[in-house]
């Protein structure tokens, strides 16, 4: 056992500082933002400032992609995988920031806190993806959860928002305490909190200790599974997805999932958990339940965000397969599959939530941006073709149909499962995706159905308000660029593949 401070090497060298530069930028930005709030409370300034911070961090992160793996104290380890994941997180945060802007503008109050919370959330995710130690994992976990609670409950005037924030807070606290207990159990057996602990295999074979260790693992994973909304820890997901403002749901669907999954994979790979049969069995049952339950529950939903919540449960189930079938020989491939799938998942979710947020902006019924009905999608493609197309691409990607990244992601998972001869998991995956089509396709049909003959739209058209329907210029650029990304990466997935491959070469 070595404490962090007794390390003879200097705590902060240039290499270390540059390795965590993006995180440092965010942290520094948060401090500056606090000062900025004291100096001038202006919606515009803080929004521009936060996006500047995020953008700088993204630039720093991308320029550092090629940097070799660096251990930053015992707590953090920055490698190519974490940088790739952090890029995804920063991009999602930028998009969510932009989408929040217009809905926050609708209220007279100045919402500096919202932006602060968002930056804190990103920092938490940044710590998570780089963490190499249970302590930093817990730190990032809590930072992420607490800022999310604040964001979910941001509209205190809205009943739903408060309800879902409470739900999230209580369940999240429970999950973290489970996780803490699990970490304590693991620590009690291994005597080390670092991921890289060389767990002596002899320990696991001692009857009592092994059981204790596995119990710890189970508790630890259930904490993370809560965040990933993997069944049977998914109960909060539909309510919170539905009650939170759309940009916050977007954050939850992208940042929180990416960060949590990356840290889970990191931890599992470092500790070689796959050696434990019981543990694998648990993961397998989680995956199977998630895949089937998520898709079956999504079938009858009439609310779009609720439906997406259930579909996210199913997707996390698909992704768990990657972890279950991993083996010592295929670690690089595991990372590649997981990161590609996460990238595809993020892109699809961002696309869909952008459209939802934009629809909500035009819809005066939903002041607090809670949820929209599936019926609101009616004829979207004919009303605003660009939104319809983006939504279509997002849905096809989630459904895993070729021409989209989602298909390549599924191809990765299927390849891995095939190599590992996990036929039962493959069978479940196929059945689950069959079920999922039964709700993705009707949504697509809705988008292409004839536009509802509501007078609103016609009068809008007559009054020349169609321009307003298309949204702000930045949002338009966002919509079109996501359409292009979706198509390009879908047809030429090699771009992303090469990126991940080059990143993984550095990691090994």
User: Within the chain, how many helices (H) and strands (E) appear?
Assistant: 23, 2
Which of residues 232 and 434 has its CB atom nearest to another protein in the complex? 434
When asked if residue 498 is in the footprint of another protein (CB under 8 A), the reply is yes
Return the DSSP state at 68: P
Q: What residues numbered 188-217 form the site for another protein, per CB under 8 A?
A: none
Before 232, cis peptide (omega within 30)? Answer: yes
Q: For another protein, which stretch binds (CB under 8 A), given 153-161, 212-220, 471-479, 494-502?
A: 494-502
CB of 445 or CB of 480, closer to another protein: 445
Looking at the Cβ atoms of 338 and 366, the one nearer to another protein is 338
CB of 436 to another protein, least distance (A): 10
Return d(Cα 484, Cα 162) in angstroms, integer: 37
Residue 368 phi, psi dihedral angles, 5° rounding: -95, 10
CA distance 144 to 179: 15
How many CB atoms within 10 Å of residue 201?
Answer: 10
The CB-of-147 to another protein minimum distance in angstroms stands at 36
d(CA 412, CA 496): 13
Minimum CB separation from another protein for residue 320, in Å? Answer: 18
Q: Which is nearer to another protein, 169 or 396 (CB)?
A: 396
When asked if residue 411 is in the footprint of another protein (CB under 8 A), the reply is yes
Q: Which one of the spans 143-151, 191-199, 396-404, 475-483 is the region binding another protein (CB under 8 A)?
A: 396-404
The backbone region for 418, taken as left when phi is positive above 0, alpha when psi lies in -120 to 50, beta otherwise, is: alpha
Residue 39 burial class via C-beta count within 10 angstroms: exposed 0-12, middle 13-18, buried 19 and up: exposed
Query: Segment contacting another protein (CB under 8 A): 115-123, 281-289, 404-412, 475-483?
Result: 404-412
Q: Check: CB of residue 235 under 8 Å from CB of residue 88.
A: no
Question: 37 vs 449, which CB is nearer to another protein?
Answer: 449
Interface with another protein in residues 438-457 (CB under 8 A)? 438, 441-442, 444-445, 448-450
414, 478, 479, 503: residue in contact with another protein (rule CB under 8 A): 414
Q: Does the CA dihedral 149-320-356-42 come out positive or negative?
A: positive
Q: Is 449 helix (H, G, I), strand (E, B) or coil?
A: coil
Positions 331 through 360 that interact with another protein (CB under 8 A): 336
Residues that bind another protein (CB under 8 A): 336, 382, 396, 401-403, 407-408, 411, 414-415, 418-419, 426, 429-431, 433-434, 437-438, 441-442, 444-445, 448-450, 493-494, 497-498, 501
């Amino acid at each position: 056992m070595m404490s962090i401070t007794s390390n003879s090497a200097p705590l902060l060298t240039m290499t270390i500082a540059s390795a965590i530069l993006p995180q440092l930028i965010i942290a520094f930005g948060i401090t500056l933002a606090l000062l900025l709030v004291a100096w001038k409370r202006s919606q515009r300034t803080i929004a521009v400032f936060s996006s500047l911070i995020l953008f700088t961090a993204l630039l720093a992160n991308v320029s550092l992609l090629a940097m070799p793996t660096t251990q930053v104290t015992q707590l953090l380890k920055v490698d190519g995988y974490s940088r790739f994941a952090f890029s995804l997180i920063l991009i999602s945060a930028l998009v969510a920031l932009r989408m929040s802007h217009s809905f926050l503008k609708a209220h007279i109050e100045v919402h500096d806190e919202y932006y602060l919370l968002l930056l804190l959330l990103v920092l938490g995710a940044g710590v998570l993806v780089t963490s190499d130690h249970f302590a930093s994992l817990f730190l990032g976990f809590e930072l992420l959860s607490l800022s999310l609670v604040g964001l979910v409950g941001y509209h205190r005037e809205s009943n739903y928002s408060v309800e879902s924030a409470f739900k999230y807070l209580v369940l999240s606290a429970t999950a973290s305490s489970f996780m803490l207990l699990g970490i304590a159990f693991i620590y009690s057996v291994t005597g080390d909190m670092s991921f890289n602990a060389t767990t002596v295999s002899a320990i696991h074979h001692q009857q009592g200790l092994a059981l204790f260790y596995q119990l710890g693992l189970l508790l630890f994973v259930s904490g993370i599974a809560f965040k990933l909304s993997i069944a049977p820890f998914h109960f909060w997901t539909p309510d919170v997805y539905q009650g939170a403002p759309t940009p916050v749901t977007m954050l939850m669907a992208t940042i929180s999932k990416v960060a949590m999954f990356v840290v889970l994979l990191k931890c599992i790979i470092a500790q070689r958990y796959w050696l434990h049969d019981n543990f694998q069995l648990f993961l397998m049952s989680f995956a199977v339940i998630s895949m089937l339950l998520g898709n079956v529950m999504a079938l009858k939903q009439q609310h779009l965000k609720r439906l997406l919540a259930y579909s996210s449960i199913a997707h996390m189930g698909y992704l768990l397969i990657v972890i279950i079938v991993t083996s010592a020989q295929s670690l690089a491939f595991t990372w590649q599959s997981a990161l590609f799938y996460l990238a595809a998942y993020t892109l699809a979710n961002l696309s869909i939530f952008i459209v939802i947020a934009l629809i909500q902006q035009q819809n005066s019924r939903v002041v607090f941006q809670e949820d929209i009905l599936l019926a609101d999608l009616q004829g979207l493609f004919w009303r605003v073709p660009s939104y319809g197309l983006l939504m279509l691409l997002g849905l096809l990607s989630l459904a895993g149909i070729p021409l989209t990244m989602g298909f390549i992601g599924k191809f990765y998972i299927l390849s891995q499962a095939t190599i590992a001869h996990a036929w039962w998991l493959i069978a479940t995956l196929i059945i689950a995706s069959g079920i999922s089509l039964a709700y993705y396709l009707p949504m697509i049909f809705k988008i292409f159905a004839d536009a509802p003959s509501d007078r609103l739209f016609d009068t809008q058209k007559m009054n020349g308000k169609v321009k307003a329907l298309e949204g702000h210029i930045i949002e338009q650029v966002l919509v079109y660029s996501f359409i292009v990304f979706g198509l390009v990466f879908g047809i030429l997935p090699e771009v992303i593949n090469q990126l991940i491959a080059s990143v993984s070469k550095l990691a090994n």
